[in-house]
């Protein structure tokens, strides 16, 4: 087993934001392999975030973001559990990053449950029309697959994050929940575009 140095622990902590003990343990479990340790910490962060998901997020901030010389604007409500976390620079940066993402990516809703039913029906109809003539069971599977792709463009939480296409906005929030130790919820947003 390779020796786990303070520098290795520090580097892992800088990359993941996880606690020192968690970083040291992850490195021990992976014999010093940084990439595997990151995977362990991400899985642990997801599990930790899932436990916090049911907790009340009654504090937070309203963030605004103006883009393209005043042509696009976003108002975003993002919540956390305590006023203490709501006042941190990291929470404000998360809110700003998500507002900027909304300005750039134009999501329709936060999650799937808020996508208007008429939009879903229209998209299903278009997808079914594209595979017309195939057996019904196959059409249904193809349409379901196409809808998954459509949800990833319509729903904020499912979109690839503009600053890191390897993670979704939900992954970003999950990472911050694990790091800050509180439930974080994007409650709502409004995107304005000049002339719309």
pLDDT score of 94: 97
Fold of 59-110+155-193: Tetrahydropterin Synthase; Chain A (3.30.479)
pLDDT score of 54: 61
Of 192, 178, 134, which Cα lies nearest the Cα of 43? 178
What size, in residues, is the chain?
Answer: 196
pLDDT score of 190: 96
pLDDT score of 55: 64
Q: Where are the beta strands (DSSP E) in the chain?
A: 59-67, 72-80, 160-161, 164-168, 185-193
Average pLDDT over the chain reads: 86
In CATH terms, 6-52 corresponds, of 1.10.3720.10, 1.10.8.10, 3.40.50.300, 3.30.70.270, to 1.10.8.10
| 190 φ, ψ (degrees, to nearest 5) | -135, 135
**187 is written with which tokens?**
């409650």
pTM, rounded to two decimals: 0.71
pLDDT score of 42: 73
Of 190, 184, 196, 194, which Cα lies nearest the Cα of 65? 190
Low-confidence ranges of the chain (pLDDT < 70): 1-2, 16-19, 45-56
pLDDT score of 74: 96
Taking each continuous run of H as one helix and of E as one strand, the counts in the chain are 8, 5
pLDDT score of 155: 96
């Amino acid at each position: 087993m390779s020796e786990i140095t303070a520098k290795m622990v520090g580097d892992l902590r800088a990359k993941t934001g996880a606690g020192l003990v968690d970083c040291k343990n992850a490195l021990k479990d992976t014999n010093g392999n940084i990439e595997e340790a990151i995977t362990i910490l991400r899985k642990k962060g997801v599990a930790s975030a899932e436990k916090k998901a049911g907790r009340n997020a009654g504090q937070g901030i309203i963030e605004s973001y103006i883009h393209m010389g005043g042509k696009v604007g976003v108002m975003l409500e993002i919540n956390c559990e305590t006023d203490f976390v709501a006042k941190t620079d990291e929470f404000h940066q998360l809110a700003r990053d998500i507002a900027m993402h909304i300005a750039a990516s134009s999501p329709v809703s936060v999650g799937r449950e808020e996508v208007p039913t008429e939009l879903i029906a229209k998209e299903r109809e278009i997808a079914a029309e594209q595979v017309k003539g195939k057996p019904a069971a196959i059409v249904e599977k193809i349409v379901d697959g196409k809808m998954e792709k459509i949800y990833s463009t319509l729903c904020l939480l499912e979109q690839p994050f503009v600053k890191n296409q390897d993670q979704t906005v939900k992954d970003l929030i999950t990472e911050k929940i694990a790091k800050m130790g509180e439930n974080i919820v994007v409650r709502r947003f409004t995107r304005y575009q000049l002339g719309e």
